[in-house]
């Protein structure tokens, strides 16, 4: 194992210990699982409802858990020490994202299973879910860096949940106000659009554009998080 991998693994282990002690963070992941369980007992679930669960999982788990992990470090004043350690910025950001990605993947898999969603064209959808997970984790990193405490991160999560989690509401807003049609290019809306195309029998020819848009959102969120992180390092 290289030195970089050891450092990232050490950060991952530390985050696991911290999250296991913080019941508020660890039990948050139960919310989409409980929601998926109840929706799974319904008949004739529409595609939008499946992706309400999926996007809600991304918002409540990927964004909040990542933001809370970083905000808790800031609250304890340990993030500064981590920034001043021999670990590079990339090693720290990747190391602190590993637990969130694993947590999100497990929660997402359980939620999809409980709600009974049969994934069409699995390779394409799984690729889109992975890219979405990267975007929401980067967004959570950004949120954690700009908030000071876990409570602040919880409050900041509310608009994120509204915009990225409640996709049927965003769809209704677009239908009512055509001038807001640019909202269709949000990553959560592109994920639903991609799923609808795959349900209709589409392949990569129909998938590349939504995948590219989601990737662009990830790149933008990562760039923003990187800029804020490096600024924090300079301030330190």
Q: Is the pLDDT of residue 91 over 60?
A: yes
C-alpha distance from residue 212 to each of 74, 186, 215 (Å): 34, 12, 5
**Cβ atoms 91, 5 nearer than 8 A:** no
Q: How many domains does the chain fold into?
A: 1
pTM of model > 0.75: yes
pLDDT, tens only, 24-82: 777 777 888 988 888 888 878 888 888 989 999 999 899 988 998 888 888 887 777 77
**What mean pLDDT is predicted for residues 185-200?**
90
How far apart, in whole angstroms, are the C-alpha atoms of residue 193 and residue 105? 21
Helix locations, the chain, DSSP H: 3-21, 23-26, 30-40, 47-57, 64-75, 79-83, 89-115, 122-146, 150-160, 167-176, 187-199, 204-235
Range of the domain at 218: 3-235
What pLDDT was estimated at residue 211? 94
pLDDT, tens only, 93-119: 888 899 899 999 999 999 999 998 888
What pLDDT was estimated at residue 1? 56
**Cβ atoms 192, 52 nearer than 8 A:** no
Under DSSP, the state recorded for 200 is T
Average pLDDT, the chain: 86
Identify the weakest region by mean pLDDT among 9-13, 35-39, 54-58, 166-170: 166-170
What pLDDT was estimated at residue 80? 76
Q: Name which residue leads in pLDDT, 184 or 83.
A: 184
**What mean pLDDT is predicted for residues 2-12?**
84
46 φ/ψ angles, rounded to the nearest 5 degrees:
-80, 160
Taking each helix axis from N to C end, the angle separating 89-115 and 30-40, rounded to the nearest 10 degrees, works out to 20
Q: Is the pLDDT of residue 236 over 60?
A: no
pLDDT, tens only, 172-184: 788 788 887 888 8
């Amino acid at each position: 194992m290289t030195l970089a991998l050891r450092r990232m693994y050490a950060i991952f282990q530390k985050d696991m210990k911290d999250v296991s002690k913080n019941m508020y963070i660890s039990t948050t992941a139960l919310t989409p699982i409980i929601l998926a369980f109840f929706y799974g007992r319904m008949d004739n679930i529409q595609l939008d409802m499946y992706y309400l669960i999926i996007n809600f999982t991304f918002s409540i788990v990927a964004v909040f858990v990542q933001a809370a992990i970083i905000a808790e470090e800031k609250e304890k004043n340990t993030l500064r020490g981590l920034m001043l350690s021999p670990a590079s910025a990339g090693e720290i950001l990747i190391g602190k994202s590993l637990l969130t990605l694993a947590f999100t993947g497990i929660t997402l898999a359980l939620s999809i299973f409980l709600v009974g969603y049969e994934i069409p064209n699995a390779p394409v959808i799984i690729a889109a879910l992975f890219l979405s997970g990267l975007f929401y984790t980067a967004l959570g990193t950004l949120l954690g860096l700009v908030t000071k405490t876990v409570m602040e991160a919880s409050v900041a999560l509310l608009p994120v949940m509204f915009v990225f989690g409640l996709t049927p509401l965003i769809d209704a807003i677009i239908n009512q106000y055509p001038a807001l049609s640019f909202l269709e290019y949000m990553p959560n809306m592109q994920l639903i659009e991609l799923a609808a195309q795959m349900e209709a029998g589409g392949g990569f020819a129909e998938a590349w554009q939504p995948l590219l848009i989601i990737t662009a959102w990830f790149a933008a969120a990562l760039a923003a998080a990187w800029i804020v992180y490096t600024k924090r390092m300079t301030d330190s």
